[in-house]
Amino acid sequence: MEDRDIIALYFARNEDAIKESSVKYGRYVTGISMSILQNALDAEECVNDTWLKAWNSIPPQDPPSLKVYLGRLVRHLSIDRLRTITRLKRDRGWRWPWTSWPTAPCPRKRRRQT
């Protein structure tokens, strides 16, 4: 199926657009995500997010090249996922400061004297 036909399916809000995109560009999109993330599960999640983002963004936009558009979406999603993973690894030993504070009763509010 040609790119124009797939984009027409997106504009018609036909769910076959995702299936056709996956058939035509699934390996391409997965390859981009795998080269960035080096993890099959995270790459699969980013690929699925790519189809969702394409579904939500194509009706207002009309990409001239569907391959480039999907590649850009998956690249940005994979980089964001990699940043999240790196941040979680880096902050692994850090704890919120108030979890280590000793528990003390809250001071009572003063009553107004009338």
Q: Are 20 and 1 in contact (CB under 8 A)?
A: yes
**Closest alpha carbon to 69 in 84, 82, 81, 57:** 57
Is the pLDDT higher at 110 or at 17? 17
DSSP E strands, 1-114 = none
Instruction: Dump pLDDT digits (tens) for 24-54.
Output: 999 999 999 999 999 999 999 999 999 999 9
Residue 113 has pLDDT above 70, yes or no: no
- Which of 1, 23, 5 has its CA nearest to residue 14? 5
pTM of the model: 0.75
Structure tokens at 43: 């790459």
CA distance 14 to 86: 37
- pLDDT tens, residue by residue, 50-93: 999 999 999 888 999 999 999 999 999 999 999 988 887 777 66
Which residues contact residue 13 at a Cβ distance below 8 angstroms, ignoring those fewer than 6 apart?
59
What domains are defined for the chain? Answer: 3-92 (1.10.1740.10)
One-letter amino acid for residue 97 of the chain: P
Give me the pLDDT at residue 95, please: 58
Q: Which residue has the tokens 């981009």?
A: 32
User: Looking at residue 93, what is its pLDDT?
Assistant: 61
Which pLDDT belongs to residue 57?
93
